Amino acid sequence: MRSRQTPRPQQMEAATHRAWPALHHRQEGPWTLRFAAGYTKRSNSAWIVNPLTAEQVPTALEALPHVEAAYRENELVPVFRIPDFLPPQLDAALAERGYQRQDTTLVLLRALGNASDISCKADRRSARPSPSPACRFDLLPVDQWFTSWKRCAVEAEGNNVHSRLLRLAAPGTLFGRVGRRHDAACCGLGVPDDRFGLFGIFDVATRPDLRRQGHASRLMRELLRGATRLQAQYAYLQVVQTNTPARALYSSLAFAEAYRYWYRVAPTAGIS
């Protein structure tokens, strides 16, 4: 496996942009506007994907009214995704316009070795119980996986859009499930990114009545093994800052914070 440098936050942000698609894109200055019929902020917000220099900040600020108008035209509340490595003037300008800060999220990263190394590190650092031997890990076709994921996430809102987004996933995406036969306990997916040797883990959900039984830990370790087979060198994921149980799990699997981001959401009454 060839050696790579630790990916920079901007590279991880670009990989996330590729890994989690939107239905439509539009460019306004340095902002990439993402649209997916309002399903999730991640797919319905304005991002800065390419590196932004200090000289480009005025252009980004000048584009704000045009970004706002584009989302209003699509009957969506304007939302901006702000990673902590962007120049602070952008976040300050949005705050001055009345945008509320929401959903501070940590982006976590871990290096990958071989499959046995993943197992040993996780087992040494985690005191979580092991799932029942009757539970197995499977890689599923996207439609079958989505049916299982809905059982775990207990989510109905946006199902049609979510299903369409999943079909846009990159080649080689791993759709994983832990459970018995057709009875899902935990689901998640992993998206490879050859450009930076990254493997992004998304949509991890455990059925509410089966939490804290080791299913998510099992799922994560299997996805990480899959990442090593795809020759990824780093795995990353995103977790909301307030999700203490998930953060504890990811820490036990040797993930550490690389950067964080939050959303700035426009007041629904309008923008001055």
Write down the pLDDT at residue 130: 56
| CATH placement of domain 107-259 | 3.40.630.30
Per-domain residue ranges for the chain? 9-106+261-265, 107-259
Average pLDDT over residues 225-232: 95
| H/E segment holding residue 98 | none
Average pLDDT over residues 52-65: 94
Average pLDDT over residues 192-201: 94
The least confident of 3-17, 29-43, 163-177 is 3-17
- Cα–Cα distances (Å) from 270 to 63, 103, 267, in that order, read 17, 21, 6
Write down the pLDDT at residue 182: 74
pLDDT in tens, 126-185: 445 555 556 799 999 999 999 999 999 987 666 889 999 999 999 999 999 999 777 899
- Cα–Cα distances (Å) from 234 to 28, 147, 181, 196, 213, in that order, read 32, 29, 31, 9, 26
Average pLDDT over residues 39-49: 95
Write down the pLDDT at residue 122: 44
Write down the pLDDT at residue 180: 76
List, edge to edge, every strand of the sheet that includes 31-35: 24-28, 31-35, 46-47, 79-83, 256-265, 100-111, 234-240, 198-206, 183-193, 174-180, 136-139
pLDDT in tens, 84-105: 999 999 999 999 999 999 999 9
Write down the pLDDT at residue 51: 87
